[in-house]
Amino acid sequence: MTKVNDPIIIGGKRVKNRITMAPTVKFDFAGDDGKVTEKHIKHYRERAEGGCGLICVEATAVTPEGRFGKNHMGLWDDDQIEGHKTIIKDCHDNDVVVIIQLNHTGITGNPEFGEAVGPSAVETRDGRMAHDLTIDEIHNMQDAFVAAAIRAKKAGYDGIQLHGCHGYLINQFIMKKTNLRTDEYGGSAVNRARFGAEIISKIRQECGDDFLISVRTAGADPELKDAIEVAEEYVKAGCDYLQVSHGVGEIDQTLVNGSEPYNLICSLGVHFHEHFKSRVPVSCVNSLLDPDNIKYLIENDLTDTVDLARAVLADPDFPKAVLGEKDSYVRCFECARCQYGPFTAHKCPAEMKRMS
């Protein structure tokens, strides 16, 4: 029986245990230059020391136009490489594999940065019409992801993760309601996956076989079968690791058994694990806040790894409690609107309790 303490090989990298930190953006940490700050360094150092086997650094923009806002970290320029080296060193000093998530907002782009772009000319959430990318523009966008991956490798990252869910650009290509194309990038699951799959192939060619390539992919958008077909294309292209979350659509409620100690989104990873078992490692995510539930998923062979977000924001040492290295931890309060970080007048109550 697999235990949470057991190591796993992912993309040729030995991950010391089955606990990973999911990418969670620190919106008020970066400046307009998109560079790593001391706040970023301290944040990731604490989580590296806390016991995670793998850390995925937050969503990082591949172009200035693809940012969430002016305080969004980037890897669109060589001048941004240097700051990442300290994050990487702190992770490696703690025997933590570290990758970085690469992203472009696409049609959800901030209007401060110009025209919204995406696979098709659809209306954006703020009432604009997105520009549908031409074939040449698609290739240029793919090249931006590849260039960012090359910078990540130069900085010393063990690999990258493509942000392929939560309604951002790669996800927009696989969603039928935002991809209305009739060319080679639209229609079938194979065609809708082509944008992301070609990025993976190009990164593999430029960064080599020893560079870990992960995709945080949509587990159902809305159909599980369609999402798995998309993921198959990513794997064929060279994806080493599937970290499964969700897009933006409704999910079939029957995909989860209400008696299990995990929720609907987490169940998507369970279904992916069953499909890709022994081929590609799969990670589950979402509301994994209890050590016993995490151990249940691993020990019952329902997933290869677990992605933790709020649990390690609330307490960086939470993984030690899961691993049996610590008796207690500060639990996430599950606030209706997460109080960690900016955009709120309040402070995370779990963090305040931990610091008291």
Determine the Cα–Cα distance for residues 355 and 1; give it in Å rounded to an integer: 37
In total, the chain counts a number of residues equal to: 356
Burial class (CB in 10 A: 0-12, 13-18, 19+), 330: buried
Per the structure, how many domains does the chain have?
Answer: 1
Q: What DSSP designation does 291 have?
A: H
Burial 244-263 (b: 16+ CB within 10 A, else e): bbbbbeebeeeebeeeeebe
pLDDT confidence bin for 345, thresholds 50/70/90:
low
Has residue 3 been placed in a domain?
no
What CATH number does residue 126 fall under? Answer: 3.20.20.70
Has residue 325 been placed in a domain?
yes
Has residue 208 been placed in a domain?
yes
pLDDT at residue 344, as a whole number: 63
Q: Respond yes or no: is residue 234 known to be catalytic.
A: no
Mean pLDDT of 241-247: 96
Whether residue 343 has pLDDT greater than 70: no
Has residue 268 been placed in a domain?
yes
Whether residue 18 has pLDDT greater than 80: yes
Q: What is the pLDDT of residues 57-80, one digit of tens each?
A: 999 999 999 999 999 999 999 999
Q: Is 26 helix (H, G, I), strand (E, B) or coil?
A: coil
Has residue 2 been placed in a domain?
no
pLDDT confidence bin for 225, thresholds 50/70/90:
very high
pLDDT at residue 353, as a whole number: 84
pLDDT confidence bin for 13, thresholds 50/70/90:
very high
pLDDT at residue 221, as a whole number: 78
pLDDT at residue 339, as a whole number: 78
Q: Which residues form the domain of 280?
A: 8-355
Structure tokens at 57: 């650094």
Largest Cα–Cα distance of the chain, in whole Å?
58
Of 44, 168, 185, 234, which one is the catalytic site residue?
168
Structure tokens at 83: 């700051």
Mean pLDDT of 247-262: 89
Q: What is the pLDDT of residues 156-181, one digit of tens each?
A: 999 999 999 999 999 999 999 999 99
DSSP labels, 146-187 = HHHHHHHHHHT-SEEEEEE-TTSHHHHHH-TTT----STTSS
Q: What is the pLDDT of residues 277-327, one digit of tens each?
A: 999 999 999 999 999 999 999 999 999 999 999 999 999 999 999 999 998
Has residue 1 been placed in a domain?
no
Least confident of 70-84, 217-231, 303-317, 329-343: 329-343
Determine the Cα–Cα distance for residues 231 and 233; give it in Å rounded to an integer: 5
Structure tokens at 209: 């076989």
Mean pLDDT of 207-228: 95
pLDDT at residue 28, as a whole number: 81
